[in-house]
Chain A
Amino acid sequence: MPGALFRVWLLVTALLVGALTPSATAHQQKAAITKVLFNPRTGNIEVMHRFYLHDAEHAVRHIFGRKADIIGSKETQQQFADYVSERFALSADGVSPLPLAPVGFEIERRFFWVYQETPMQDGIEELTFRHDALRDLWPEQINTINVEGIGDIRTATLEGSIEVASVTLDTPKN
């Protein structure tokens, strides 16, 4: 929409912000970490999103309604996994996003994991990420992405105004 410089942001329902503030408590971290792994064994780029269960618990009730239950309901878990998948995108070298197939989700101790994957491509020099999950709910949400399995670890952090973030890879040149 060229020329539109100002628009009311209506992604989920923005009126929910601020009910819980992260002042002196560590109990809602509002921080997720994603591992993007170039896995030579599977030939895939594997995407593993880790959310604090406590963040997810609050989020699902905001997004899917009061009955949503991330611990007890498979339906809620699936909804949340879909919600995350819709808000995460990965593009290589500036071209259109790579198609990410859903792999599944699970709870592990204090964490809720969402898995995705896409076939590995050769010669990627730059990866660009969008990761809006929970950021459309809480402005304090910080999503960190570590790219591993291809040279040194590269990190992209999505917080505040940063809508997309890129990392350059140590791809061997042919």
Chain B
Amino acid sequence: MKKGLIVFSTLIALASGAATADAVKQTKAKFDDKFRQLDEVLPTANVYRNAAGEPGHEYWQQKVDYKIKVALNEAKRSITASETVSYQNNSPDTLKYLWLQLDQNKFKRDSMAEKTTAFAGIGRRGPATRAANGNTPAKLSFSELRRQQFMDDHELGYEIRNVVDGRGRPLNFVIVGTNMRIDLASPLAPGDSTEFSLDFAFNMVDENTVSARGGYEHFPDDAREGGNDIFLLAQWFPRLHAYTDYEAWTNKEFLGRGEFTLEFGNYEVEMTVPADHIVSSTGVLQNPNQVLTREQRNRLDEARTAERPVFIVTAEEALENEREGTDEIKTWRFAAENVRDFAWATSRKFMWDAKGYNQGGDVQPFVMAMSFYPKEGGDLWKKYSTEAVVHTMEVYGRFSFDYPYPVSQSVNGPVGGMEYPMITFNGPRTTLNDDGSRTYSQAEKRYLIGVVIHEVGHNYFPMIVNSDERQWTWMDEGLNSYLDGVAGREWDPTIPWGVEPRDITGYMKSQRQVPIMTQSDSIWRIGPNAYTKPAAALNILRETILGRELFDFAFKEYANRWRFKRPTPSDFFRTMEEASGVDLDWFWRGWFYSTDHVDISLDRVYKLRLDTEDPDIDYARLREAEEDKPVSLFVERNKAEGKRLWVELNPDVTDFYDENDRFTVTNKERNKYRSFMAKLEDWERDVLTRAVEEDKNYYVLDFSNKGGLVMPIILQMTFADGTTEDLHIPAEIWRRTPDAVKKLIVTDKEVTQIVVDPYWETADVDVENNHYPRRIIPSRVEAFKDPSSSGLVRRDIMQDSKVKLKTPGDDDN
């Protein structure tokens, strides 16, 4: 034994390996560097976006202002409009042309979206088809037939006319699918602005037939002859594509899924609609005296300070409007500042409630929260919609920034859930019962509160923190799903809101998935990919990796850095790292750039004991260990058969070795020990002496990483006396050997059990291999069948709660 080394009784070597790709290659031995910094992957920092993830010192973005006059033809369900656009070129580039988004062109029969919808293919929103298969004939749903008939019967997409510059001179333009290029009369130099105008018209789609983000919903059963409609105008006007420092024109064809990014600017919009319509819109109403009654204006004043929402249009008044109809028209004027889009809704069916929210602060001390809904939304909306709008601003404000606009609205129409600046479309409805009453289920209530929080939350991401959903869906959907879970749990934690890490394990271990960092149109299974997995990842980052204080600081820093600006994924990754002071490249690599999952297995635990080198201690322990071994079966059976041994039959013949075994200590060993101790340095002797006195328990834990995703190892140790202790080992333990790792644990007390990830906080997909000693984790079927464990789960509390409390004297049955 070498001097100065403390030797343990057991030692094991290990090996690991995996290959890595990319520009830098591991070409000898196998090693997958899970902690490789993202430098080669992230774009090089520059003057527009710096290495901290902040807007750079020469950050720029364009500014686009719109003036639009639009008229609704209710009978034809069509829109005619003209718009004047002022384009401010803040980029360092000279622009010869401008690109616009024509999202309505997606509905043209010859659009790329329509033409590339595979028959019976995956991924399109809307009605289904099925291909023939074996003996099964091809199938076409009624809905698909209805959709096709609708597309046949209606001329869809934009009609664009009269594209002229500021002086009325015609401009050349080319329409390329859902994009339009306008060639400028003269190149637009950096710092200059230009103006152009155009007329446009389109027939709206029946939202329930076509599945869109806007359109009309028809109510044929209303009292008015011919029924009524709700019109949702979204992605409705030719909008400038963003021109950016990282992608130039973001003119990727709209295929229906990846939404959009746009430029910030100011809007003045005039909508001419039937005089009995109520309009809800992005922006602030400019002519209330002309479109609202004195009574309605008074009610709006009253709402500013009300405890609960005040009706501006009551249920009775809306019902009256529904019955009547009118040939008169009215023009509503709205103005919005510094918004990246503009949407509106109009119907005579709307009731309207409002409640002031005193946000405080300097940005926007007062916000009016409002909801618009037909009787079909009814009592559910009256109670919860506007309140949920206010709640969202309260919570999101704490985690990001003050809501910066004067109004925030929730509108009930045919769209399940969609967001625009200051206005959101939300789908929940009540159910009409046979007796004419309207009720709603608990699930519908949760849906309303949840969807309003989610869509109003989108005002922060991406309507203000202006990420590009057409490229990176997760940047708004993932961040917003994380935050709507925070807001939901602050509403009522008994409702199962948010994403628990355990919810995503089934998806993460499945073979069919793509990395989160995948362009929106190419994603498989968008729900878990762009919403649930990134939300779970952020939850884990907050609760397990960084802790709430660091995470909340960094997240708020990101939100404020990019408020009214245009972040990319690298800006998020860099900010979270830079502001928290924690290297997270491994986390982004694992969760966002790969399809690895978490499965850490505790394979073995070795108990070690320190050799004291004192023969009087060590030899006795060795003897004890020998005696603990089972006796030879051969010898046992001889004894059982009553065999008498030679030594038993001849007790008079003995010698030295009958009294001393091989563990007997002699002075030779003692002298060697003294010599060993004498040769030790003083500090070495002190260390050994103390360790011998303390006689701690040493355990070596063997972990393997079966899922590939490196994560912290969270341990719970149970001791012989029943107490427990938790231990958090940072993910960096895997940095040199990502497939397997060992950890020495030293404890005062004897350990009886070790569990990895005891609180299910890391999304570990297999909890059975987290236990040592192994514990059988029953499958859900086993657990369900086990009468002892499922008693509480199987209780039907909702039904049982209807049972009346018995009073003494009641019959027992």
Contact = CB atoms under 8 A, between A and B. Distances in A.
Interface stretch (A1-9, A80-88, A119-127): A1-9
Interface string A46-74: 11101001100110010000100111101
A113 B780 contact: yes
A8 B477 CA distance: 36
Given A42-B781, A163-B136, A27 B447 contact: yes
B208 interface: yes
A48 B496 CA distance: 21
A42 B130 contact: no
B503 A26 contact: no
Contacts of B122: 159-162
A154 B496 CA distance: 30
Nearest to B485: A26
B128 interface: yes
Nearest to A160: B122
A20 B217 CA distance: 12
B113 interface: no
Contact of A50 (B416, B477, B506, B790): B506
Nearest to A137: B128
Interface stretch (B6-14, B84-92, B688-696, B793-801): B793-801
Interface in B389-444: 414-419, 427, 431-433, 441-444
B44 interface: no
A30 interface: yes
B125 A161 contact: no
B781 A46 contact: yes
B509 A103 contact: no
Nearest to A33: B506
Interface in B779-798: 779-782, 784-785, 790, 793-794, 796, 798
Contact of A22 (B416, B455, B510, B780): B416
Nearest to B131: A161
Given A57-B441, A108-B793, A20 B532 contact: no
A28 interface: yes
Contacts of A79: none
Given A15-B142, A24-B477, A30-B527, A103 B128 contact: no
Given A24-B417, A72-B441, A139-B128, 11 more contacts: A8-B140, A13-B142, A23-B415, A24-B455, A25-B454, A25-B455, A37-B779, A74-B796, A109-B500, A117-B781, A155-B512
A5 B138 CA distance: 6
Nearest to A105: B784
A126 B416 CA distance: 40
A173 interface: no
A19 to B, nearest CB: 6
Given A57-B444, A144-B507, A9 B141 contact: yes
A171 interface: no
Contact of B130 (A16, A144, A163): A163
Interface of A: 1-2, 4-10, 13-31, 33, 35, 37, 39, 41-42, 44, 46-48, 50, 53-54, 57-58, 61, 66, 69-72, 74, 103-104, 106, 108-110, 113, 115, 117, 135, 139-140, 142, 144, 146, 153-157, 159-164
B383 interface: no
B215 to A, nearest CB: 10
Among A70, A72, A164, max chain B CB count under 10 A is at A72
Contact of A106 (B210, B431, B793): B793
11 contacts: A9-B141, A18-B210, A20-B416, A20-B427, A23-B418, A35-B780, A57-B441, A106-B790, A113-B780, A157-B512, A161-B130
Contacts, number: 233
Interface of B: 118-133, 135-143, 145-146, 207-213, 259, 414-419, 427, 431-433, 441-444, 446-447, 450-451, 454-455, 458, 477, 481, 484, 496, 500, 503, 506-507, 509-512, 524-525, 527-528, 531-532, 776, 778-782, 784-785, 790, 793-794, 796, 798-799
Contact of B510 (A7, A27, A47, A144): A144
Contacts of B507: 33, 144
B510 A160 contact: no
Nearest to B447: A27
A23 B451 contact: no
Contacts of A54: 443, 446-447
Contacts of A13: 142
Nearest to B427: A20
Contacts of A156: 512
B126 A18 contact: yes
B415 A7 contact: no
A159 B523 CA distance: 13
A160 B121 contact: yes
Contacts of A27: 416-417, 447, 450-451, 454
Contacts of A15: 142-143, 146
B472 to A, nearest CB: 14
B545 to A, nearest CB: 23
Contacts of A30: 527
Given A18-B126, A54-B447, A72 B779 contact: no
